[in-house]
Copies of this chain bind each other. A is one copy, B any other.
C-alpha cells in the first residue's frame, strides 16, 4: 500500500511534546486509531500513564530530540511554548505539525498581534513595552484601564497585570518580571467566545460550533455550546479562524479566543490563538461526532478530517483544585460524563478534570 507523503499509517507512532492532560487526551485519541504514542517531556506527567514510550529530557537536549524524532512518524505538541530551536531540531528528522510558523507566531504576543492585525482582523490596541520608561509611554498612548502582558510564556492569566488609575506602574512592571511585554488597551466585552477548528494537510477546514466561555480567576470555568450569538456573528468568527489557519498554513486543531464587543467598536476582537487542542473544546469528546483530540490526530497524521457535527446542547465545566472532591456526586448524576486527568495532587488552580453534560437540543437547562 502506498501512502501519500507525510501520511502516517495505523501502527505508526505519534510523538507528542508535553505530558499534561492535553497530551494525555491526545494519546487516548491516538490509541483508538491503533497508533502508538511517544511522549517527550522534561518530567513525568499525566500523559506518561497512557503512553507507549516516553522520553524524559530537556527541550534543549539535541541528542534526545533527535532520537525522539527518529523514533516517531510525526511530532506534535500540547502547548505553544515549545522553544523555536527545539522545533527546528525536530523538523530535521520528522514532520512537525502544526509547523514552525504557527509556533513562532503564537508564542510571542507581539508577533501574534502583528499577525492578526496584518490579516485585517480586529484585535485590542497594543504597544510594545521593553522597559519601565517604555511602559509609561505606552500608558500615555493606550490609556487606562490597560493590560500589561509578557510577550512569552503567558497562560491562564499568568504573566498579566491589569492596570487601573490607582495601579503603581513600577510595581506592575516588576510583577510581570520586567521582561519584554505588550500593553493592551482593555476591551470591554460582553462575552468571551472561542472557535475550535482543524485544518488538514490538504487544506480542508472544519470548525466546531462557537463556544461561549466563562472564567474564574483567569482560568476557564465553563463552556456552553451553542454560544447564543447570532448565526451571522458565529459565521464571522469561524471565518476569522479560517483566515488565521490558512495564513499559518496550519495543520491540526487550533483555538482562537475572541471577545464579543459590548459597546461601539468592532463586534469581534481576537484575543489569543492557541496552536493546539484547547480546554474550551473538551466537550467534543462526547458532544461532537469527532472529538478535537481525534481531529488533531487525524490532521497531523495527514488523514481526512472527521465530522465536527455537534450532538446536543453542551455544558462543560472544569474541575479545578478541590473541585475534584465532587467526583462521587458527578458519578451519581445521570448522563454527566466525568473526565479526570490522573494528577496526584489537587493544588489550588490546578486543572484536575472536567465534566461534560450533553442535553437534547432544545431541552431544559440543568
Contacts and interface: CB of A to CB of B under 8 A. Distances in A.
Nearest to A309: B335
A11 B332 contact: no
B1 A340 contact: no
A335 B289 contact: yes
A358 B311 CA distance: 11
A93 to B, nearest CB: 23
Interface stretch (A99-107, A156-164, A182-190, A323-331): A323-331
Contacts of A34: 339-343, 352-353
A328 B1 CA distance: 11
Contacts of A24: 31
Contact of A331 (B49, B303, B331, B340): B303
B342 A36 contact: yes
A352 B335 CA distance: 31
Contacts of A286: 289
A327 B10 contact: yes
A35 interface: yes
Nearest to A338: B33
B331 A304 contact: yes
Contacts of A309: 335
Given A298-B331, A307-B335, A327-B10, A49 B33 contact: no
A90 to B, nearest CB: 22
A25 to B, nearest CB: 8
A31 B50 contact: yes
A362 interface: no
Interface in A288-336: 289, 298, 303-304, 306-307, 309, 311, 324-325, 327-328, 331-332, 334-335
Contacts of A36: 49, 342
Contacts of A52: 49-50
A172 interface: no
Contacts of A32: 28, 339-340
Interface in A1-41: 1, 10-11, 24, 27-28, 31-37
Contacts of A332: 304
B325 A1 contact: yes
A10 B27 CA distance: 19
Q: Could you say which of A31, A331, A339, A358 has the most chain B C-beta atoms within 10 Å of its C-beta?
A: A31
Contacts of A343: 34
By Cβ-Cβ distance, the 8 closest A-B pairs, closest first, are A34-B340, A34-B342, A49-B52, A10-B340, A31-B50, A50-B50, A303-B331, A304-B332
Given A10-B353, A50-B52, 10 more contacts: A10-B324, A10-B340, A28-B32, A32-B340, A33-B340, A35-B342, A36-B342, A49-B52, A306-B335, A309-B335
